[in-house]
Structure 1
Amino acid sequence: MHPEFPLQDGLIHLNHAAVAPWPQRTVHAVAGFAMQNGVAGSLNYPQWLEVEARLRRRLAHLIDAPSPDDIALCKNTSEALSLIAWGLTWQPGDNVVISDQEFPSNRIVWESLTPLGVEVRRAEIGGEDPEGAIIAACDGRTRVVALSAVQYGVGLKLDLPPIGDHCRKRGILFVVDAIQQLGAAPFDVEAAQADFVAADGHKWMLGPEGIALFYSRPEARAQLQLRQFGWHMVEHVGDFERLDWQPAATARRFEPGSPNMLGIYGLEASLSLLEEVGIDVVSRRIGERIELLIGSLQAAGHRLLTPRDPARHAGIVTFVPRDGDTHGAFARLQQAGVFCAPRGGGIRFSPHFHTPFSQLDIAVNAVEK
């Protein structure tokens, strides 16, 4: 058992694609922040701001962003996507291209635009060329392509650069929901040519709920009309007597009010662990666990829904039991202490870099016992 994750006896946590357990350093960081508040209030607020700045730097590093100034801290992925969807000016007949496997966060927000005459196109990506299917769904009225880097259900990992290149050459905004990739695999925002990236911290980044990354490329950021206003989103933040104001030039313009300091302390601590281990090492270790699961599940006769090609998956393996009884298998797994999820038409396992290999064997055996 990894010292940062002393999970309770009998629990096999294979649900990092949902809500991950916190590392011990995150538990201590949040508890310490709470204790500090209990005895000193906000006396150490300058220290809080240092932690906030450090978090922005860690997030920028995680996605290879040019600057921490391009990182806003939102409540969740849905809020960040809403800032984009409702910050743009739309005309009847415009369209948005998504995939047919998106989590509701990256579907509902675009469907909310249909009263404005915006069409939402769902490209079918279950074939041999998902990127080609997405590109083929675009036309001269496509304003946005919005995709999950890794699909939440079957775990399909998209090759983002060809899509980003297509969008950039045609003036289409490229929006990436990276929640199922950040913390599980490397991500290069410039190589992907993404204009916006959104991701909660509570999955593979191992942080708390209620704090999310929102990256915006400066040229794209300027296209969004602001819908939320407050003291924290202005250029001269902290100058409370100033009567003239303008939005911050940085991504902080999307943060209208007081930051979620509790979440900031938690996510900053969690990312420090990922940086210490190294995202390449994390990705390799997750990959080793995924390969073990895929091999064991196939050997047992279960049907994989997750692509077999290592380039096509990250930390998710979804399968259908060989007898087809997904409900029964899921009940047996729960009874055996295997914490997983019914997703994508099957059962989803999502281990992290620290998951013991022995627990993976137990989980596979528990599918039929």
Structure 2
Amino acid sequence: MINPSDEFPLAPELCYLNHAAVAPWPRRAAEAVRRFAEENISLGARDYPAWLQVEKRLRERLQRLLNAPSTADVALVKNTSEALSFVAFGLDWRAGDQVVISDEEFPSNRIVWEALKPRGVEVVQVNLGGKDPEGALLDACGPRTRLLSISSVQFASGLRLDLPRLGAGCRAKNVLLCVDAIQQLGAQPLDVQSCDCAFAMADGHKWMLGPEGLGVFYCRSDLREQLALHEYGWHMLEHAGDYDRNDWQPARSARRFECGSPNMLGAMALEASLSLLEEVGMPQVAAQIEERVLQLQEGLQRIAGAQLHSPLNPARRAGILTFSLAGWDNQALFARLREQQVICAQRGKGIRLSPHFYTEPAVIERSLTVLAQLRQG
């Protein structure tokens, strides 16, 4: 049984509700980094083969988290934007091709496609505010649409989309499905096979409880060689480590997207963090997050003047609840909450709260008490 206070010894006055931005590390991640630093200062890289075993375990944990067919389908990347760029500038676009996205995307999943304008690629933005957002996205996919790129959970509203439905719809239309999974992976189960994803990517520093600077890129095996490479180096070779070899070819696995030396420090931390999620189990993680979000929802609904901007249907959300408070400018409210040690974010139409599975109910109650007091003035 995981003891949250042991793994997350946060300052007692802190109400941390900001996992959709940057999450605290669990104790085991901090200890993994400490051990790695101590080993470096005393032994250098003497035991580098053991470090590679940690990286191997990390790939295996990410494969299981995504339900990817193989670790060969998983690349370790710097961040979500890098992985999206591999797709955007790897596909063989033709003038007149279209990319469909939503009108709520985080800039990472908008700018990268707009950057294709010089190649004649058109970006179609779809409003998700209707009763059937998946239907709206699929209806926008016409004969010129090559790819639908969508966040599985929208960063501001917290709207969670039906990925299996989108995957089936894209397959029927011969459209590739690209999923920015940063607001789902680690908070809700995600199965790239049942969703029929062509590509999926996420950073490790949010719901996966890891450090910034290390993420995952899933690329379906039949599409790997269809992405033109723009980064080259020793690490992305099929025979990496054979330094005297003159002939070379990119790795057949997704390692072809990893051009140079790995982020071993990040791997130590993220591997440890994912071990925690595996111990708890993603179904349990998702259930506990839903309990915390429901507690926030019910508490906010009791505060006069609080307006919710996130879906109330549990099937339509992951770990995000966004609200505004009558009589308060969002920026001013965000600043006051920070003063009161309620750590959150200002996003979209209001203030975004994002608890994780380990968040104690008492933390949520303290946050609601602060909000009720602010509302009363």
CA contact (8 A) 1:173 1:220 kept: no
- 1:236: which partner in 2? 239
Q: CA–CA distance in 2 between the matches of 1:66 and 1:321?
A: 46
TM-aligned CA deviation for residue 245 of structure 1: 0.9
2:367 aligned counterpart, secondary structure: helix
1:90 is displaced (CA, Å) by: 1.1
Say whether 1:182 aligns with 2:185.
Answer: yes
Hey, what does 1:84 align to over in structure 2? Answer: 87
Question: Is the partner of 1:168 in helix, strand or coil?
Answer: helix
Q: Structure 2 CA distance, aligned partners of 1:313 and 1:299?
A: 20
Contact kept? 1:332, 1:366, Cα under 8 Å: no
Does residue 308 (structure 1) correspond to residue 312 (structure 2)? The answer is: yes
Give the secondary-structure state (helix, strand or coil) at the position aligned to 1:221: helix
Letter in 1 for 2:352: R
CA–CA distance in structure 1, aligned partners of residues 222 and 359 of structure 2: 41
Alpha-carbon distance in 2 for matches of 1:246, 1:170 = 33
Larger mean Cα displacement after TM superposition, 161-170 or 190-199: 161-170
Residue of 326, 329, 332 corresponding to 1:328: 332
Conserved 8 A contact 1:182-1:205: yes
Q: Percent identity?
A: 56
Amino acid at match of 2:320: I
The secondary structure found in structure 1 opposite 2:7 is: coil
Mapped pair 1:57 → 2:60: yes
Q: 1:1-369 to 2 correspondence within 5 Å?
A: 2-301=5-304, 302-323=306-327, 325-367=329-371, 368-369=373-374
Unpaired runs of 5+ in structure 1? none
CA contact (8 A) 1:71 1:214 kept: yes
Structure 2: gaps (5+ residues): none
The 3-state SS of whatever aligns with 1:81 is helix
> What is the deviation of 1:324?
5.1
For residues 332 and 258 of structure 2, what CA distance do their matches in structure 1 show? 45
Report the AA paired with residue 317 of structure 1.
L
Letter of the structure 2 residue corresponding to residue 191 of structure 1: S
Amino acid at match of 2:79: N
State the alpha-carbon separation in 1 of the partners of residues 265 and 174 from structure 2: 38
Letter in 2 for 1:18: A
**Deviation sequence 1:214-236 (CA, Å, 0-9, x none):** 00101122210111111111111
Larger CA deviation: 352-361 vs 200-209: 352-361
- CA shift, 1:86, in A, is 0.3
- CA separation of 1:152 and 1:163: change in aligned 2, threshold 3 A: same
